[in-house]
Structure 1
Amino acid sequence: MHKTLIVTNDFPPRPGGIQAFLHNMALRLDPAGIVVYASTWKRGREGAEATAAFDAEQPFTVVRDRTTMLLPTPRVTRRATALLREHGCTSVWFGAAAPLGLMAPALRRAGAERLIGTTHGHEAGWAQLPVARGLLRRIGEGTDSLTYLGEYTRSRIAAALSPEAAARMTHLPPGVDEKTFHPDSGGAGVRAELGLTDRPVVVCVSRLVPRKGQDTLILALPRILAAHPDTVLLVVGGGPYERNLRRLAAETGVSDSVRFTGAVPWSELPAHYGAGDVFAMPCRTRRGGLDVEGLGIVYLEASATGLPVLAGDSGGAPDAVLDGETGWVVRGGNSEECADRLVTLLGDPELRQRMGARGRRWVEEKWRWDLLAHRLEELLRTRPEQPDGRPA
């Protein structure tokens, strides 16, 4: 039987988009052929209990390292190679290529025939830093293929790789569970619970950090309220930027039109998307390109829910929107442009319906998890070729 060792820091119950990406992919592969080697979520009894309970529910084997952050140290490399041999794995998938892909040569010597590294937004940042760029080049040379989320991340990362490694890059974005995120996901119940039944709602689902652009939405609200006075901005998610956002809402005079839900359990997210009339996350690039959106799966989840989307132009975010069809892309940080687009959408139910329906079809056609998991499975099983084209 073909077996794959997944080596990752990004795995539930640790929350986050990369974690959800890896878990959803793993669930759609043959569970008998999967072994996950992951870091511990967090120290302490509560973290240990949550991790143990999660791992026990999985249909595949999960092995946790004692550390909360796997690094390609000699100890971690020895553990990974031991697991590869113990379980008879013939392929390795690095959940995030940097830095764990630096273990690729050792794992190949231990018997791995295929080594795949998935890149996200942070590898695009690595490609801009001299030392990190050199390490990224080594990772590209040590693996059989690096996957990328979209054209933005591909072009940035490829510039740091050897020509041969760049040519081996493969498109593998995260997917959307179209059976979980759909137009009848329970949004009416969330609206009723929050007292928003008869009000226009702009919803933003994301971590509360400066890059995501919730502050831009707050600054856009006065202009939106002038056209649609009952509008509410529903901010779903938790994060370190919440205090700043609440202060900004007060200073802007729109506190009564902003609702913060805090962190929401994953099972309740589809209904919170469904509570909106429009989805907006006008993300922006920060820190000279080091803090950038890799893709923005939230736009696709919103599209699957049947909402038109407003995206910022940071990094790969535009790859998750068909501009003018499923929504619009605006300049990140530009509150006036953001406000103008939202005013148009809130005032045109037919346009919202048309864009939302197109987004739903696009997700069903291109972004389903089963389609993308099949692509990963092919990558993990494909044998490298010799120069004459014959399988090695």
Structure 2
Amino acid sequence: MEIILRSKRSSISTENNLSKSTVSGEKGGLPTFIGYMMSRTISVSKGGGEIVIVSGKFSLWIGLWLRLRFFYRDLHILGILHGSEVNLPGLLGKKFTHLSMMACNQLVAVSHYTASIIPAWIRKSKNISIIPNGIDCQRMDRKLTESVPLNLQGSPILLTVGGVTPRKGQHRVIRALPEIIRSYPQACYHIVGLPIYQKQFEELAIQCGVQEHIVFHGVCPTWEKLTEYYKAADLFMLLSENQKNGDVEGFGIVALEAGFFSLPVIGATGCGIDDAIDDGRSGILVNGDNATEICNAMTKILADKSSFKQRSKVWAEQHDWNIVIEDFIRILPPTKA
């Protein structure tokens, strides 16, 4: 049999003596949720799941349903927690998710930060493992060899990839730009991602007087194109900001993706990025609201850019799914013959 683990960005399939069902997916709303629930119920009812791995909010809920539906079956449910699903803003959703977490036999948090925000009463009753997210190095390596760097303006070239939202922290980079520009007058900040808050951030840039040093590129259409952005940049900025509504950065897998392309990362501490960056080696962790810290981190990396680039690549390769998957296999129970 095979075990399949899916994160929001990457997937890996590794042969193992295991009977399993995997539930993943966050998008599509109620119809998608119902479809997943029905398909997984049918799969388990046919004997297709001695071990069920659930990853993400909707998947956790389906895990609870499977536990109740097949209470007479010896199902082993492993829940993977990413961060934002742990403490949802609505009371009903939060309680239901916590109940779903309790229905799991095992819980895996993708970072120490994610583990820390799990309610204490759940942490006391569950053995929680910490296993980081992984990346598909083989797939990205093909994109690396196929692409060429874009000709982006700026020196240094700063890059953020991800939805343009407060959680991803582009606004924190914008607020730091006045001090950055004092040290690096030609610096330019390139923002790639779904432009959800682009208008608000453009207004912030005008208020800070840095609009000429920012380029919004919108959604990147292909992996090949995204690779070109990574290869063109000098520094990757990931100053994620945890939101009061529970929307948090549970890991920051994009930091590993940037690192794979030898792009050092400046990341905000106090969230899952603490585990996604090898501080002082693949990048530097900073207070995301402290412009002086951010600027000093830039100076330190740019002064030793070749070493940071090399270590970024090594750090990312240590998180290849073919390596990370072994941690999951080690914690799963032996299966029936």
TM-score by length of 1: 0.73
Q: Distance in 2 between matches of 1:152 and 1:323?
A: 15
2:46 to 76, 86, 100: 86
1:170 aligns with 2:129: yes
Summarize deviations over 1:34-67 as a string: whole Å, max 9, x none: 766677955xxxxxxxxxxxxxxxxxxxxxxx94
Report the alpha carbon displacement of residue 246 of structure 1 after superposing the two structures with TM: 1.8
Question: Contact 2:26–2:56 at 8 Å: present in 1 too?
Answer: no
Cα 1:122–1:243 change in 2 (3 A) is same
Q: 1:274 to 1:344 in 2, by over 3 A?
A: same
CA, structure 1 residues 378+111, in 2 after alignment: closer, same or farther (shift >3 Å)?
Answer: farther
Q: Which residue of 1 aligns with 2:313?
A: 360
How much does 1:297 deviate? 0.7
CA shift, 1:214, in A, is 0.8
Equivalent residue, structure 1, for 2:103:
142
CA distance in structure 2 between the partners assigned to 1:152 and 1:125 by the alignment: 13
User: What does residue 373 of structure 1 align with?
Assistant: 325
Say whether the 8 Å CA contact 1:4–1:90 is kept in structure 2.
Answer: no
Query: In the alignment, what sits opposite 1:19?
Result: 8
Name structure 1 gaps, 5 residues minimum: 12-17, 43-65, 384-390
Report the CA distance shift for 1:271/1:382 in structure 2 as closer, same or farther (over 3 A): farther
Report how far residue 5 of structure 1 moved.
Answer: 9.2
Letter in 2 for 1:370: N
1:125 maps to 87
Q: How far apart are the structure 2 equivalents of 1:241 and 1:231?
A: 22
Instruction: Label 1:190 to 1:246 Cα distance change in 2 as closer, same or farther (>3 A).
Output: farther
Q: 1:378 Cα shift?
A: 4.9
1:105 to 67, 89, 109: 67
Q: Is the 8 A contact 2:22 2:53 kept in 1?
A: no
Letter in 2 for 1:94: V
Measured in 1, the distance between the counterparts of 2:324 and 2:199 equals: 38
Corresponding residue SS for 1:70: helix
User: Structure 1 302/282 Cα, relative in aligned 2: closer, same or farther at 3 Å?
Assistant: same
Across the two proteins, how many residue pairs are aligned to each other? 333
Q: Pick closer, same or farther for the CA change 1:108–1:370 going to 2, 3 Å.
A: farther
- TM-score, normalised relative to structure 2: 0.83
What does residue 46 of structure 1 align with? Answer: none
Q: Bigger CA drift: 89-98 or 141-150?
A: 89-98
Is it true that 1:281 corresponds to 2:247 in the alignment? no
Change (3 A) 1:100 1:113: closer
Select which of 289, 298, 308 maps to 1:333: 289
| Compared CA separation, residues 357 and 187, structure 1 to 2 (3 A) | farther
Q: What are the equivalent positions in structure 2 for 1:1-392 lying under 5 Å apart?
A: 2=1, 18-21=7-10, 24-25=11-12, 27-28=13-14, 67-70=30-33, 80-86=40-46, 88-96=48-56, 98-109=60-71, 111=73, 113-126=75-88, 134-157=95-118, 159-161=120-122, 163-165=124-126, 167=127, 169-181=128-140, 185=144, 189-192=148-151, 194=152, 196=153, 199-267=155-223, 268-287=225-244, 290-346=246-302, 348=303, 351-365=304-318, 367-379=319-331, 382-383=334-335
Asked if the contact 2:20/2:50 (under 8 Å) is kept, the reply is no
Q: Specify the SS of the correspondent of 1:294.
A: coil
Preserved contact between residue 23 and residue 36 of structure 2 (Cα < 8 Å): no
Q: Alpha-carbon deviations, 1:76-124, whole Å to 9, x = none? A: 7565322222363322111225433322423543645321111111243
* Aligned CA distance change for structure 1 residues 262 and 29 (closer, same or farther; 3 Å): farther
What SS class does the counterpart of residue 52 from structure 2 fall into? strand
Residue 132 (structure 1) shift = 5.6
Structure 2 residue ranges without an equivalent (≥5): none
Larger fraction in helix: 1
Residue 135 of structure 1 and its aligned partner are, at CA, apart by 3.7
SS in 2 for 1:220: helix
CA–CA separation in structure 2 for the residues paired with 1:170 and 1:108: 25
Distance in 2 between the 1:117 and 1:93 partners? Answer: 6
Change (3 A) 1:364 1:239: same
Amino acid at match of 2:45: R
Q: Which digits, 9 at most, give the CA deviation of each residue in 1:337-369, with x for residues without a partner?
A: 2233224434x1xx122122112212223x111
Matching residue's letter, 2:124: P
Aligned-partner Cα distance in 1 for 2:19–2:202 = 47
Q: Percent same amino acid at aligned positions? A: 23
CA gap 1:377/1:131 in 2 versus in 1, 3 angstroms: same
